Every structure is written in C-alpha cells, then in structure tokens.
Structure 1
C-alpha cells in the first residue's frame, strides 16, 4: 500500500533526535537534511515500514541510519540485556564497508552505547563468531554471508530483531540472492520494522517489498535518475581503440582533466591493460575489480576518498555478465577465473568528490551508464562524463540518449567533445608502442603480482601502521607493477610534440625561468582567450572550475 506523504520542511534539530546524533551530524558538516532524509526520518521514527526510492547520491544511507541509531538509543534506555536490534543487508562487500563507515561517523559521540559489526568479509565463520557472541546492536552483511551465520547458529534474531534494512534493494536479486533472501526471512521474527532503499522500483524490488514489508509507505521522489545538466555534463568522442588510448594519454599527461577520475572498462583484463599502459608514461593509477580480495577493494576506495590518489581504473563486470538490454538473453561466457559475486564498483559505492568519469569502454546497457555516471555530481558537486565511442558502440549510446531525453526530443544529452586528434598526432607513435607492449602475458603477470602485493594489506598490520604512519606508503594501490618494460624517456612529454595552443597551459617539465621567458615573448594570449579558441580545453576548464568550487 502506498500513501501520499506531505510534511513541512524541517531541520535535523526539529526531528527529535538525540543530542549525540546531532553533534555527529554537525561534525560531518551536514547543515540541512536532503529531501529524502527530511521525508524518511520522521516516518521511520514513527515505526512505519518504508520503501525509499531516490537516485544515487541523494543521501539514502543516512536517511535510514539516523533513525536506526535513534531507535536503538531509545530501546537501550529500558533494556535489561545486550541484544542485536538491527540487521542491515547490502548486495556487495564494498557497500557493507561503506555503511559501517557512515555508522561510525554517526555514532562518534555514542560509540560506547552503539556497537556494530560487518560480517560481509569472506573469512572463516569461526573468526567472526566471537564478534556475534557479544551481540552487537547492529549487524551489517550481505544476504549470503548473513544466512551462513544464521544456519551455523552464530546469529539468532528470532527474539531480538526489531529493524531490518535492505540497501540497494534493486540489486539484491541481480546479485543472485533471491533464494538466500527467501530462506533468510524464515530466521526472522514475525514482527519487525523494515526499510527498503533503492535507486529504482524494479520488479525485483516489488518482489522484495511483498516479502519483507507490511503496509508500507512508499517514498518516491519525482526526480531524474541523474543530476541535471547544470550539474552533470555528458560528453562523447568518436574513437576506435587505438585512438582511445592516444586520447587518454594526451588528456591525462597534458592535465586537460583535473580532479579525481574513474576510468571504466568492461573486463578485468582491460582494467590491467589500461594500468600497465599508463604506467609507462609515469601516470599512477590503481585498479578495482572483482578478483581482488574484498578488504583490498574497500581499502582502495577509502584511500581514493581520502585523496591519496586521483585515478581509479574500474572494471564494471556486472553489466558485462548481466546486461539488461536486448542482449540480456545471452548467457555470460564461462571463465575459470575466480570472481567475487559480492563485488560491485559502478553502483552503490560512495566515491567522494569525483570530478570526471571516463567510459573507455561504453557500458552495455542504459542502467549501467546511469550507475557509472552516478559516481560523479553527487550532492551539490559538479561532474563530467566523457565516453569514448567506437563504431560498434554507437547504437548503445543512442539507447542511452533516448532514455535520458525522457521524451524531450528538442534536447541533446551528449555534447560532442571537440578534440582534434591531428593536433596530438605526435603522441600517437608513443601511445601505439606502449599499447602494443602490454601483451596478454604481461596482463596475466600483472594480475598475479597485484594480488601478491596486496597480501600486505591485512588487518593484522593496522596497529603497526597507526604507530608508523610514514610506512603506510607500502600499502599504496597505485604503485607500478613493472610487468612491462619501462622506457624512461616516456615519462616526460617533450615540448616539441605539445600542440601550440596548449603550451601555455599544459604542465610540461620546464624550468621556471624558461616558463617566464616564454610568457614574456610568446605567451601574450591570456588563458581566457585560449579557452575560446582552443578545441581541446572544454573539459579541462570544466574540471578546473569544479575543483575551485569544491575548495
């Protein structure tokens, strides 16, 4: 059942929240609630079941965590013993880790009263059993992992559970958790308050709604799935694979793209190929894919959010294996490689302050594009999406544009990124040699080496690095893998191959003295005049403005 909810706007301090929660919110710098938080928090505090539909980046996580923490604090005032009161389910380990991060921030002033545990990591059940024996107030996990603990007797929720939250509900079944969810419900009490949070209201969400919700209130914000054009700009650039590699090299090496960037590809192999390719030009990147251990994936995302590095190459394998478009009937290719089905990169994870998304491989369906683009322009931040389009990907782009137009035929979603490839033709021979140097054997060796290096990133070393923070450098995820021969001359860009229009703006290795001389003699044209005449700078200046606004 759905109800039409109307309520006057209110601030956090008007929601009857505990002072400790309000102090934590103030410390996070949240001045006013988002629309979904304003409508959702009062309903959950009243004890109603709620189905929340709002686009990514709208503040859904805090919308359900704030009332969950408040209700647990209320219960504890009269509680005689410690019990598990809330179960939060999410489809991926990265999302579970992120939810725990938000819980930590919101309970910083009441950490002694509110205890939580993340059981999503794939370790032996006996290792996590002592954590559950202590009966934390909140348990966070994937449906599959939670069911394992329920079956083994490590987790007993029949008598104590009062709150059930399912985040990214529209992904739960697509991650293969349908049977687990139906069985998991049998281990829960008959009466509990439930919250479903989702970016879409798909058929899977409706099935989950019937499974766990009782007479719910449905909150559906009337908003587009992506940020508006004033906040998010979509570019496209027609290029085949070798041209894509050349353009990517030029954009990054000439600093035409500023700020944090995620480069999306469609396979793990391509993920490492891009890393090894850029490595030859001394462009540092880290990789994210389903073959890396969950701890490493979460650690990489956290370091990226902290600003330790600026470029991630991510493989969006979910859209490759389970396309929801017309090709969705095709069966995924079988592979011997072990992938983590509880991994997700393009959806759900809160990458913070991402300025640019680059689709090196165009996504295979509309939803995958929306989820990738949703990694940027979050909150009130600006963002750009640049998609490289090969001939065989043109039809995919057209489907995305048709969807995003939403019947408005007079608008154009994708702006043409005016990049004159002939101006960086001198980059091509370097790019071609570097691209060909990344062979299948080099990629395979890089995959093995990356996993071996990441063995160092274990929780056992956490206390050591707290005492020796400078040694944390060994845990950087963007270090060179060196499975391809590095040619030192590729590290720098010689001045003679830089386009004349960019020489005043590209960050090339000149001495300050030579820079000053050049500006006196030849650099009379201002940067603002350059912006109007130079076809390569549309995205560079966008990124520069965004960075300035955020600071």
Structure 2
C-alpha cells in the first residue's frame, strides 16, 4: 500500500514524497482513513511507529476539505501533548506536511515566556499544539477561544495521566464544544486509558498495532550485571571499545543525569544532559547537537526524553533501570525504529534485580544476560533500597496507581500540573 491509497490530497502527497516516504506504517494505514472520515479514534501505538504522521496527515487533509465554522483564523484543531519536546515534534510534523497548505499553527508550552504565545493566538491561528498546564494558564487569562474547535487530539495520553494532567485536561474539556472529533493516542490500553476514553470519545474506532507490553523484534536487548560503583566505567568502555557514535542513556534522576554527564566528559566522551531543571533553550541545543552527531551521548530522564524522535538511533542504554516496567518499553523504543535494527543495553546492579524481574514479566521475555568478566559483580555486596526516580519505590519496582501518584510529587513532572502557584510562576518567566 502507498500513501496515494489513503485519501490524501496532492499537497500532502507532495510533502510526503519530499520527505522520502512512500509506504505508510501500519498505524498510518489504519488511522488515516478513519480520521479523514471524521470518526473518533482510540489508538495504541508505541514510539517509533509513525503515529505522529498518523494523525497530523489526516488532520491537515480533513481541515482542507471542510470550511471553518466561523472566521478563518479561529482555532480549529488542538493537539495536547505531555512534554515540551513532544509538542515541538508534533509542531514540526504539522509544519513539514502542511508546507503546501495555507494553515497557520503555533506551539505552546511552559518554561518560556507566555506573552509571545498569547500574541500568536490573538493574531489568529488554526492549529494549536500545547502542553496542558500552559494552555490552562492561557485559558485562565481568557487568551484562547475554543468555540470553533473541530478536532481534539490527545497524544501519549498514558503519559499525561502518569504526569497528573487529568485534572487539567478535564478543565480544558469544559471550554470546548461537545460536538467535535476526538483522537486519543496512547502507548497502552490500560484501564485508566479506557476510562478516560469512555468520557471523551464517541463510538470510537479502535486502532492497535502493538500490545502494551510488546517490544520491537528488531531491538537487540542485553543485560550486563555490574556493581553500581562501576557502571560509569563499564559504560565508557562499551562506548569506546565498540565505537558507539550516538548513544541515548537513561538515568532515574536529574542529579544522576548531571553527574553521569560530567563523568563521561571527564573520561573524554562528549555528552550532554536533558531534564526538567534545564532551560528549554539548553534542552533544544543539546538535542540538536546529539542529532547532528556533535555529541556522542545524550543523558536523559524518562519525562525529558518523551518526544525525542531520532531516525536510526543505534543505541539506548539503561544506566539505571526504571521503577515502572512500562518505562522500559518506552525507553528502548527510541531505537529499532521504522524497520531499522537497534541495541538496548541495560547495566543492572544488585539493587535492581527485582526491577529486572518485573520488566521481564511485563514484556514476557527473558532478556539475554552477557557476562563481562572484568566487570563481574562482587558477590559480597548486598542490595540497598532504591530511593529516587519515577515511582519513588524503595528497592522494588512498582506499577499502577501508587507509582503514578508518587511520580506526581517526585519532581520529575517538567510541565507540571497547573496549580495556582505554577500558573503564577509561568507568567513571570
């Protein structure tokens, strides 16, 4: 099947061709036609499946085929995302595929000044891509009008729930017309996602291209057991000996990301960190340098890494295992994309053995263990509680409501819930 079979018009097909694509991914094949028809959609798709184009392409097509309800420059479509990086990625997708269409769009998120965003909306824009907290700030200032909204898209809805955005989303819903098309994209069909969908979607079409615990076949997963104090040494050796040129490394905490980045730099390996304490400019600069191979290693926390979209990323390293098994799937899904092979390496110390068991149970796969004699763990070292990171667990990986609730107060929510203090702080930035 080609994109020409999906009901897309010539301006979109031209933009797709200019990007070098000719065959749609499974999520695009299933989602594009039903979105164009105007149906509500509940879609499950892992990172790297082409889901962003799966909703931006039919959104642009549908807008081009219908007349605005009111005057042309009112907001007709809204895309909500959990993080700044993902918002920027979606905005870039709309810009790329809509280059031959006369649509105006803007992206809205926290961490930058609110006044230019208010000015862009007042000037007139048809498509808005936003994080919930900042959008609610703008709505609170009566800076946005949703009365002409035709389509609402929630991207990575599972992560928005994890980050505590459900209350912000519900507040925003009250400002929108009941009669609209709604698309909900999630990496999983968890009970929470199904409950959210029931309240938002009208007789939705179900689109699913991967089970929630499925990891891509083209990703070579491997475990190296190593003492915690020797992880950095082993990581440096793997990078140098195997001549890795582009490596995305995950840590649990912002402090851990900073510490590891400094140690890698000291060992002669170029590295940069992205997390919630970094300014948006610093995060954008680090990601751009990584994509351009200006640095070899990008060290990231889970939330900061959402929305990172790098073609043919060869290596992902779990420097520390995540407390929540679903996050393992999200992490390694950064490699092995679009049919390309990738490698996911996890450095596991004695403290993390229980987390590893939970991950393997979740993905229904025993991950191969590769012994490196020079880094064999000291059998006399005892496990210690894991204090920090998403989930806030102490020694055992947890999942479900408890871990999600703890994550909301752990400091990892970069585009945090829109409390009064957060709104005031954002306005002063």
* Offset of residue 79 of structure 1: 7.6
Contact 2:184 2:197 in 1 (8 A): yes
Could you tell me how far apart the structure 2 residues matched to 1:89 and 1:170 are?
A: 12
- CA deviation after TM superposition for structure 1 residue 242, in Å: 2.6
* Aligned twin of 1:55: 46
Change (3 A) 1:89 1:77: closer
Q: What per-residue deviation string (whole Å, max 9, x for no partner) do you get for residues 301-338 of structure 1? A: 2332233323111133xxxxxxxxxxxxxxxxxxxxxx
Relative to structure 1, the CA distance from residue 286 to residue 54 in structure 2 (aligned partners, 3 Å threshold; closer, same or farther) is same
Structure with greater helix percent? 1
Please name the residue that 2:294 is paired with. Answer: 308
1:113-262 paired onto structure 2 within 5 Å: 113-158=102-147, 160-223=148-211, 225-229=213-217, 231-254=218-241, 256-262=242-248
Q: Does the 8 Å contact 2:254/2:275 carry over to 1?
A: yes
C-alpha contact (below 8 Å) 1:357/1:373 kept by paired residues: yes
After TM superposition, give the deviation of residue 208 of structure 1 in Å. Answer: 2.1
1:363 lines up with 2:322 in the alignment: yes
Distance, in Å, in 1 between the alignment partners of 2:69 and 2:156 is 33
TM-score calculated relative to the size of structure 2: 0.83
| 1:325-340 matched pairs, under 5 angstroms | none
Gaps of 5+ in 1: 1-9, 317-343, 406-411, 424-551
* Alpha-carbon separation, structure 1, partners of 2:71 and 2:139: 24
Aligned counterparts of 1:41 and 1:418: Cα–Cα separation in 2 = 46
Indicate how the Cα distance of structure 1 residues 19 and 153 shifts in structure 2: closer, same or farther if over 3 A, else same. Answer: same
For 1:362 and 1:422, locate their aligned partners in 2 and report how far apart those are by CA, in whole Å: 18
Report the counterpart of residue 421 of structure 1 in structure 2. 374
Question: Which range moves more in the overlay, 285-294 or 264-273?
Answer: 264-273
SS at match of 1:416: coil
Match of 2:415 in 1: none
Match of 2:422 in 1: none
User: What residue is the counterpart of 2:312 in the other structure?
Assistant: 353
Q: Give unpaired runs (5+ residues) of structure 2.
A: 377-429
Segments of 4+ moved more than 3 angstroms: 76-81, 121-125, 222-229
Higher relative contact order (CA 8 A, sep 6+): 2
Per-residue CA deviation, residues 188-241 of structure 1 (Å, 9 max, x unaligned), is 012011100111012331232123211111112355644444x11111111112
Instruction: Please give the per-residue CA displacement for 1:390-442, whole angstroms capped at 9, x wherever unaligned.
Output: 1121121122112222xxxxxx632222323179xxxxxxxxxxxxxxxxxxx
Question: Could you say which residue in structure 2 is the equivalent of 1:332?
Answer: none
Structure 2 residue aligned with 1:273: 259
CA distance in 2, matches of 1:369, 1:375: 10
Residue 79 of structure 2 is matched in structure 1 by 88
